[in-house]
Amino acid sequence: MHSSNQRILKRRLSQLAVIAIILTASSGMKSKNDSIYKNGWIDFNKNGVKDVFEDPTQKVDDRVNNLISLMNVDEKTCQLTTLYGYSRVLEDEMPNEKWKSRVWKDGIGNIDEHLNTIAGRASTDTEFAYPYSKHAEAINTVQKWFVEETRMGIPVDFTNEGIHGLCHKKATPLPAPIGIGSTWNTDLVRQAGEMVGREAKALGYTNVYAPILDVATDQRWGRVLECYGEEPYHIAEMGKQMTLGIQSQGVASTIKHFAVYSIPKGARDGDARTDPHVAPREMHQLYMYPFRRVIQEANPMGVMSSYNDYDGVPVTSSYYFLTELLRQQYGFKGYVVSDSEAVEYVSEKHHVAADYKEAVRQVIEAGLNVRTTFRTPESFIEPLRELVHEGKLSMKTLDSRVADVLRVKFELGLFDQPYVENTAAADQLVHTDADAALSKKINQQSLVLLKNENNLLPLEIEKMQKILVTGPLADELNYTFSRYGPADNPSTSVYQGIKNYVGDKAQVVYEKGCDVVDPDWPGSEIIPVPLSDNEQADIAAAVEKAKQSDVIIAVVGEDEERVGETKSRTSLGLPGRQFQLLQALHATGKPVVLVLINGQPLTINWENKFIPAILEAWFPSTDGGTVIAETLFGAYNPGGKLSVTFPKAVGQIPLNFPFKPGSQAGQPGEGPNGYGNTRVIGPLYPFGYGLSYTTFEYSNLALSDTVIYSQDDVLVTFNVTNTGKREGDEIVQLYLKDEVSSVTTYESQLRGFERVHLKPGETKTLSFTLHPDDLKLLDENMNWTVEPGSFKVMVGSSSVDIHLSVGFEVKRN
């Protein structure tokens, strides 16, 4: 159609619209002063008639179809974008007259992070964030504007981040997801999800961006911190419970980042974020496995599409990923929101679209529902409208994308109760005493004891007069807060936690020793720079206090400026001068306890060899200092296990679990292939590893049957006994090995785990059921199948420490 004809058509349509409005008004349309809130329904489109979409007794699909039939193109396109909240894109805290001239006068799909407050970002501070009831009232005010002031009155989906706890001022904090993953406690994760969902609902948020289901197989990647771990079964089990917990509270869970996001080439994040080198079979068996499981077993209402490509095709413009795989194969029924800049990258980074407008067309055709980024909604809606008017995007496709968004809003109950019903209740529903206790319990269970030579831990206060707490993270708090978690909660450093715990039983002294990084970092990782006079003096000050102390507690690692989104690393050693500090402290001859604060595995080889006790704390939340102190002095017995492999050197990467036979093996000592001894082999700490202050013994492994058919279940039972003198937790792990298969599969795969609390001398019998899905592989024709043959069940305390094993046979049907 010629542009001149288009302009004439648009002008005539506008004239008709004005005439229709005048006729409607003259025929008795209710004024804004008359209530649209009826007995049992809301007159959203203000026409005095209970339309199908306004009738709570009608089926959701019928309500969706009816509403779409009443919407114009402007209103439809407005449902396909995000308006970022106050101080991000939205300039206003509350509605005002200017809103009548903005694009959202026709509605909006969702509003993200409105009035939430982000830790460390003063621009996001707002009087409407706290107290909680005031925020709920503010969200109601915004929602009321969209219901009452737009023509169709379509409610907004209020979204917010939630991987560290809800991203809101003084909401209940959680440790980093890598710490949550190290608990291996699905019951706790379910409770955490319920808590996050309840707090969101009370505050007026209706959609939580959590959990992250990415499989973190490259330890250099900065967002390892935000993943549950590297093993797909473990991630699926944890993510499933988080999703079920959030959605049990009547809010949506949006899982992320779909798909193959966690391994950009060389773990380069930031401006890179592209080109994952993953073969198709590996993609499905490892990286897509958690998404498939969680979608099919927990039915999340949202999926966030990632901004990377796969095999040359941007995921967010891929019909295969967003429609064929996600909806047709996995059965996803919600709506897909883009990660920030994912749409823009289609043209600006991936260059598979000639311009941004073409990128918009590609992503909508592929299956994207809502564009989210830190740009105005107009920047997406205007080109989208042009595409429709130019005939480059069909109304059928547009309606289909809008229908997905509206369906979620109906399922969330927004068309039946768009407001927080009891805003005052928010003050009793958010960050309760029970929530604080749950947060502390998760913090405790996230701790992993990596080494405890000669049972140095737990420390005995009564045998000590002076304790030195040192290291750049000993009195630091920034790692206890997250861009994706709560802000403004009181926080306790490790030093303060130890002081509080020890009280007047011993003297606790502090000396920083060094900064987290030196001025030349990260360049100093590849070209070492001599210590400056100030750095030498700082280390010397710590050494002097160490000589006068009975024990040294060194708190080292990474802070929030060194790890996280866009902060991938080159090396995995302790940054800055921390290694030199540890060497100097060790040289004093005094016992050193190493507390690691970090977001990814570190190559602490010297530390593991020479430091007698090492406690991995990851990035704890605000009571981390208290929890660490209680653990070091024995009030709590650590029982967490690693959910990621610790390599000895970055040169070993990729080094992770699961792995193919021989792929992580050593070199032959003799034979025709040489007598190689040219590289370091094996992990520093394997997947599933973690110690305790007590010991455990495994026995009596048995199967319900040793010969089954392909669709049978197998019941696995065995005993675990606490053989030590302290009560404690053991995380039992069940691995499965396919002895012979049509395609090469993994050496073994995790297929069950449970965190068990045992008193001294106590024995518990554990049961796991292996289902056909646990035995499946992708055969040579890329079909999921259970092949006949021999399988081995292995039970142990890590992927390496296998204590019991037994085999069974799968027969042909």
What is the rounded CA–CA span in Å between residue 373 and residue 112?
A: 10
What is the rounded CA–CA span in Å between residue 810 and residue 788?
A: 5
What is the rounded CA–CA span in Å between residue 432 and residue 707?
A: 51
Closest CA to 146 of 193, 186, 195, 90: 90
> Please, are residues 576 and 517 in contact by the beta-carbon 8 Å criterion?
yes
Helix (H), strand (E) at residue 496? helix 494-502
Closest CA to 526 of 583, 558, 571: 571
Closest CA to 142 of 72, 80, 85: 85
The residues near 432 (Cβ < 8 Å, ≥ 6 apart) are: 172
**DSSP state, 299?**
-
What is the rounded CA–CA span in Å between residue 756 and residue 729?
A: 5
What is the rounded CA–CA span in Å between residue 604 and residue 591?
A: 18
Order across the sheet with 763-770: list the strands.
696-703, 714-722, 763-770
The owner of tokens 């159609």 is 1
What is the rounded CA–CA span in Å between residue 470 and residue 408?
A: 51
Helix (H), strand (E) at residue 222? none
CA-atom Rg of the chain in angstroms: 29
What is the rounded CA–CA span in Å between residue 599 and residue 162?
A: 18
587: tokens are 């040289």
Q: Which of 43, 157, 339, 729 is catalytic?
A: 339
> Please, are residues 283 and 314 in contact by the beta-carbon 8 Å criterion?
no
Other residues' Cβ atoms within 10 Å of the Cβ of residue 134:
17
What φ, ψ does residue 355 adopt, rounded to 5°?
A: -155, 175
What is the rounded CA–CA span in Å between residue 200 and residue 761?
A: 43
Q: Give the residue ranges of DSSP H helices in 27-131.
A: 60-70, 73-78
Beta bridge partners of 370: 337
Instruction: Decide: residue 98, CB within 10 A, 0-12 exposed, 13-18 middle, 19+ buried.
Output: exposed
What is the rounded CA–CA span in Å between residue 266 and residue 274?
A: 10
Closest CA to 41 of 528, 417, 597, 585: 417
The residues near 232 (Cβ < 8 Å, ≥ 6 apart) are: 215, 285, 286, 287, 289, 290
Beta bridge partners of 806: 793
Q: Is the peptide bond before 350 cis (omega within 30 degrees of 0)?
A: no
What is the rounded CA–CA span in Å between residue 236 and residue 434?
A: 27
Known catalytic residue: 533? no
The residues near 774 (Cβ < 8 Å, ≥ 6 apart) are: 736, 751
Beta bridge partners of 27: none
Evaluated on CA atoms 642, 647, 650, 654, the torsion sign reads negative
**DSSP state, 769?**
E
DSSP 423-434: GGGHHHHSS-HH
The owner of tokens 């289901």 is 213
Closest CA to 237 of 189, 198, 205, 301: 189
> Please, are residues 124 and 77 in contact by the beta-carbon 8 Å criterion?
no
> Catalytic residue numbers?
339
